């Protein structure tokens, strides 16, 4: 009988430990200030725009996509992504990268691009009779 309680207690402790771990891992912060991104060792979602003047590199040997981003304050950051360039990257109005800043660059594990909407800047015309 005592072994059942010990086993049940062990299962509860393991379950709570897993839940706490998953909660702390999913608590990713959005940052639009790259000075804060560069000074944290946590996984963050950095938001900015692609620096088109810097271009981008595709390292086929290492399967990496490399580019520079800037935040709204003009701070630049090198981004290295293990994967291929997103299809709509060149037309994106903003970029969100998820990862960590390590060894002088942002190591992205995910890239999201936001493209300009075809409805932006259009005025709605109404007719009055």
Report pTM.
Answer: 0.68
Q: What is the mean pLDDT of residues 50-73?
A: 92
Confirm whether 23 is domain-assigned: no
DSSP secondary structure code for residue 19 in this structure: H
Q: Angle CA(44)–CA(96)–CA(83) in degrees, nearest 5?
A: 95
> Across residues 61-77, what is the average pLDDT?
92
Residue 119 lies in a domain: no
Higher pLDDT, 44 or 129: 44
Cβ count within 10 A of residue 70: 17
Q: How far apart are CA 70 and CA 48, in angstroms?
A: 5
Q: Is residue 8 part of a domain?
A: no
CATH code, 94: 2.40.50.140
In a domain, 22, yes or no: no
User: For 17-39, what is each residue's pLDDT tens digit?
Assistant: 888 777 666 556 767 788 888 88
Residue 102 falls inside a structural domain:
yes
Percent of the chain exceeding pLDDT 90 equals: 34
Q: List C-alpha distances in Å: 27 to 22, 82, 98.
A: 9, 23, 12
Q: Which domain holds residue 59?
A: 29-114
> Residue 35 corresponds to which tokens in the numbers above?
């000075």
Structurally, how many domains does the chain consist of? 1
């Amino acid at each position: 009988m005592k072994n059942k309680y010990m086993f049940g207690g062990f299962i509860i402790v393991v379950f709570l430990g897993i839940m706490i771990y998953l909660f702390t891992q999913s608590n990713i912060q959005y940052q639009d200030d790259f000075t804060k991104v560069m000074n944290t060792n946590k996984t963050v979602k950095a938001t900015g725009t692609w620096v088109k003047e810097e271009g981008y590199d595709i390292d086929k040997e290492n399967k990496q996509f490399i580019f520079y981003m800037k935040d709204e304050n003009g701070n630049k950051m090198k981004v290295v992504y293990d994967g291929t360039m997103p299809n709509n990257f060149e037309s994106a109005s903003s970029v969100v990268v998820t990862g960590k800043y390590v060894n002088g660059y942002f190591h992205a594990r995910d890239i999201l691009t936001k493209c300009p909407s075809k409805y932006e800047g259009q005025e709605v015309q109404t007719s009055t009779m």
